[in-house]
Amino acid sequence: MTNYFEIIHKLQIEHNASAAELLALLQCNDAKILEALRQAAQAQAQQTFGNNVYLRGLIEFSNFCKNDCLYCGIRRSNRKASRYRLTPQEILKCCATGYALGLRTFVLQGGEDFAYDDKRLAEVVAEIKRRYPDCAVTLSAGERKPEIYRQWFEAGADRYLLRHETANPEHYAKLHPAELKLATRLECLRSLKEIGYQVGTGFMVGSPYQTVENLVEDLLFIKGFNPHMVGTGPFIPHKDTPFGEEDAGSGQLTLKLISILRLLLPKANLPATTALNTLLPNGHQQGILAGANVIMPNLSPQNVRDKYTLYDNKKHSGSEAAEGVAFLRKLLAEIGYENPISRGDYPDVIR
């Protein structure tokens, strides 16, 4: 018989588990065991970060994308998507708003947009760092050549988010067009780390065709890669994509995965994501209580927020919005957390 408490204990002490142990934990639905896992993860997060939750201002700078990922609402073949691209001035204005609200990390996320090539984005990053030297800049702009990643790093970018989406190559092929390969994605992740970025990866929970064994592969890949950040959220269908009629992933399973990730990577920055908060009531609070330590409020200009629709009903108001930061602070205070005015780097990073 599986002793689940022993698996949780091993995760707490060794920050590791075998494939069989992870599988058993993922398949377990016993409320007592799930609560023990959650408590262990929350305790680990508090040991690493105290009662601090770090905020990142998310600036969705372009929804043009040359890729055609089957799950994503801004895929190139979605003719119904209304496309926009922020100018460098608009991006800088978002940063000014965010800085005044106490945010000290700006995340520039966009589709793979040719107009935001190496040079243009490098100039924006350099200008943000010139104006706000006490802030971190995170980029999330897809797969690029190592030279371009290097150019952006030299311009001052500190961190890079690139989810691996699934660590299983066959599953990857079912979610992406033929020209996108898991091997290329992993090459990009390795090169980002080598260049010196704090690197984030991650995956969707409950994406079409995903099996529980795939999730074990995701966890083992992440443990081995040892990223600085891991983003996980439930898959949520977008009506104008091939997966429009699929079921959404499970919020509860996402929370369980956050807890396991917290124990596997005790120091990693783990966000309670927008997708989680879109699917679950009090998703931010629930994510933090499950071991997450980051929330990324939306700093994009109001008039484009509806357009960056990766999935249906994506939230961008209330605690999800930068102008809702006071509300978010109240939600965090309710569960005993606060948010310091801090870049919130990975604990061991020396700057």
Q: Give the torsion through C-alpha atoms of 195, 198, 199, 205, to 10 deg.
A: 180
Binding mask 279-318 for ligand 5AD (x = CB under 6 A): -------------------------------xx-------
Q: Are the CB atoms for 250 and 276 separated by under 8 Å?
A: no
**Following CA atoms 91, 95, 96, 101 in sequence, which dihedral angle do they give, to the nearest 10 degrees?**
140
**Closer to ligand 5AD by Cβ: residue 72 or 328:** 72
What does the per-residue mask of binding to ligand 5AD show for 72-101, with x meaning CB under 6 A? x-----------------------------
Task: Tell me if 233 contacts ligand 5AD by CB under 6 A.
Answer: yes
Angle value at C-alpha 230, between 78 and 307, nearest 5 degrees = 25
H helix runs in 53-181, sequence order? 88-100, 118-131, 146-154, 169-175
User: Among residues 86 and 310, whose Cβ is nearest to ligand 5AD?
Assistant: 310
Packing angle, helices 251-264 and 4-14, rounded to 10: 50
Structure tokens at 21: 């142990």
* Contact window for ligand 5AD (CB under 6 A) among 91-99, 146-154, 228-236, 259-267: 228-236
User: Taking CB under 6 A as the rule, does residue 61 contact ligand 5AD?
Assistant: no
| Interface region with ligand 5AD, contact rule CB under 6 A, candidates 5-13, 15-23, 235-243, 317-325 | 235-243
Sketch the per residue contact string, 242 through 281, with ligand 5AD: x for CB under 6 A, - otherwise. ---------------------------------x------
Give me the least distance between CB of 296 and ligand 5AD, in Å please: 11
Does residue number 188 form part of the binding site for ligand 5AD (CB under 6 A)?
no
Residue 40 or 255 having the CB closest to ligand 5AD: 255
First to last CA, the chain: 48
Rule CB under 6 A: choose which of 157, 236, 290, 304 binds ligand 5AD: 236
Using the rule CB under 6 A, is 235 a contact of ligand 5AD?
A: yes
Complex with ligand 5AD: residue 71 or 337, whichever CB lies closer: 71
User: What is the CB neighbour count within 10 angstroms for residue 120?
Assistant: 13
Q: Check if the beta carbon of residue 55 is closer than 8 Å to that of residue 299.
A: no
Closest of 176, 144, 57 to residue 106, by C-alpha: 57
Judged by CB under 6 A, which stretch of 92-100, 115-123, 233-241, 317-325 contacts ligand 5AD? Answer: 233-241
Q: Which residues contact 31 (CB under 8 A, 6 or more apart)?
A: none
Q: What are the Cα distances from residue 190, in Å, to 145, 173, 184, 196?
A: 12, 20, 10, 10
Q: CB neighbours of 123 closer than 8 A, spacing ≥ 6?
A: 88, 155
Q: How many residues touch ligand 5AD (CB under 6 A)? A: 12
- Tell me which of 144, 238, 262, 284 binds ligand 5AD, using CB under 6 A: 238
Candidate list 21, 60, 113, 165; residue touching ligand 5AD; CB under 6 A: 165
Interacting residues with ligand 5AD (CB under 6 A): 71-72, 163, 165, 204, 233, 235-236, 238, 275, 310-311
